[in-house]
Amino acid sequence: MPARIAVLVLNFGGPERYEDVESFLFNLFKDSKVIRLPFNFMQKPFARFVAHLRAPKIIAQYKQTGGPSPLNEWTRKQVKGLQTRLPEYRFYMGFSYMPPFITDVMVEIKKDAPEFVIVLPLYPQYSNTTTGSGFADIQAFLKQQPLPSTFHFIDHWYHNAKYLHALKLRIEQGARHFSEAPHIIFSAHSIPETYLKDGDPYIQHIEETVHLLTRDLNCVSGFNLAYQSKLGPVKWVGPSTADTIRSLGAEAVRRLLVCPISFVSDHIETLYEINVELRHIAKQAGVSEFRCTEGLNDLPPFLDALADVIEQAKMTFKLAT
C-alpha cells in the first residue's frame, strides 16, 4: 500500500563513472536556468561543445580526488537516513542532470499515487539555477501529466535551527585542527550578476545564512563571505574565494578554515576546487594552516534537520484524522 505522504528529494546529481562526465556536463549546460544564452536554438550546440571541451579537464580533477563524484552516494545515504527517521513517508530521489532524472521519478510517483507530495531540494538557499530548475522540471511534467496529489514545494530552509546547528558542528570540528582559532571564509557557489536583476534571492539567502551562523560562533577569529565556481566571461557575484584568500594572506592571516556554505555534500567543488586549487593559492599567499570543513553529508544532526524541515512542511497539508 503506498504511503499517504511522499517526499521527493531533489539534487544536481553527478557522474559516478568517468565516461559519464561529458553527458553530465551536457545536461548541465543545456539547462537555460544555469547557463543563459540569448537564443534558445544555441543552447544544445553550446552545451555539446563546452561539455566535450571541458570533460577531459573535469575527469583529471576527479582523478585527483580519488574517483568520480560522490554526490549521488551521499544523496542516497541522506534519503536512507530520512526514511529511517520518518518511516511513515515514502521517499523518492530525483536528479537534475544524471539518472534517476526528476521527470522519470515523477512517473514512479504518479504510479504510486500518494495523496500528498513534499518536494525537498537539497539546496538550503533558493536560486533559480538550482531549486528553481528542479521545480520547473516537476511543473512541466504536471502540465503534461496532471496528478491528483497535493504538492508542497519547499523553497528554502537555511533558517532551520537544526540545520544551523549541524553547520556549526562541522565548523567547530574543523577549527579544532588549528593551533589557534582560525579565520573562516564562508564560500558559496556564485551566480551571474544579471540573475540578481531578475529577482533571484540566492545572494540574500546566503548573506542571511552567514548572519545567523556568526551570531554566536566563538571558535573562529573572524570571517569573510566569498564566492567560487564561476564559469565563462560574464560578470559573476564576488568577491571570489581565491581573491579573498590572497587578500587575507597579504594581511598576514595564517590560519584559514573554509566552510562551503551553499553545499550540503562533498563533491568536486569541495574536494577539488577548495581542497586542491584553493589550498594551493593559500600556500602561495603565505597561509600556513588551511582546511575545509567536512560536508554535512550523512551527519546525524543534519539528517535530523532535514527531517524537521519535512515535518514542518507536513503542517501545510490539511490531513483528515
Per domain, the residue ranges of the chain are 5-157+301-314, 161-292
Q: Name the pLDDT band for 1 (thresholds 50, 70, 90).
A: very low
Q: What is the largest CA-CA distance in the chain?
A: 63
pLDDT of residue 2: 58
Question: Model's pTM, two decimal places?
Answer: 0.95
pLDDT one-digit tens code per residue, 145-154: 999 999 999 9
Q: What nine digits make up the cell of 113?
A: 499515487
Would you give the DSSP letter of residue 277?
Answer: I
pLDDT one-digit tens code per residue, 221-250: 999 999 998 877 789 999 999 999 999 999
Q: Evaluate if residue 318 carries a pLDDT over 80.
A: no
Q: What is the mean pLDDT of residues 133-153?
A: 96
pLDDT of residue 319: 66
Q: Please list the alpha-helical segments (H only) found in the chain.
A: 21-29, 43-64, 71-85, 102-112, 131-144, 161-175, 193-197, 202-214, 241-250, 268-271, 279-284, 300-314
pLDDT one-digit tens code per residue, 152-200: 999 999 999 999 999 999 999 999 999 999 999 999 999 999 999 889 9
Can you tell me the distance from the alpha carbon of 184 to that of 276, in angstroms, rounded to the nearest whole number? 17
Closest listed residue to residue 227, CA positions, set 201, 250, 215, 245: 245
Please state which CATH number belongs to domain 161-292.
3.40.50.1400
CATH top-level class for 5-157+301-314?
A: alpha beta
Q: Name the pLDDT band for 321 (thresholds 50, 70, 90).
A: very low
pLDDT one-digit tens code per residue, 68-100: 999 999 999 999 999 999 999 999 999 999 999
Can you tell me the distance from the alpha carbon of 270 to that of 198, in angstroms, rounded to the nearest whole number? 28
Instruction: Please check whether the two domains, 5-157+301-314 and 161-292, share a CATH topology.
Output: yes
pLDDT one-digit tens code per residue, 2-48: 579 999 999 999 999 999 999 999 999 999 888 888 778 889 999 99
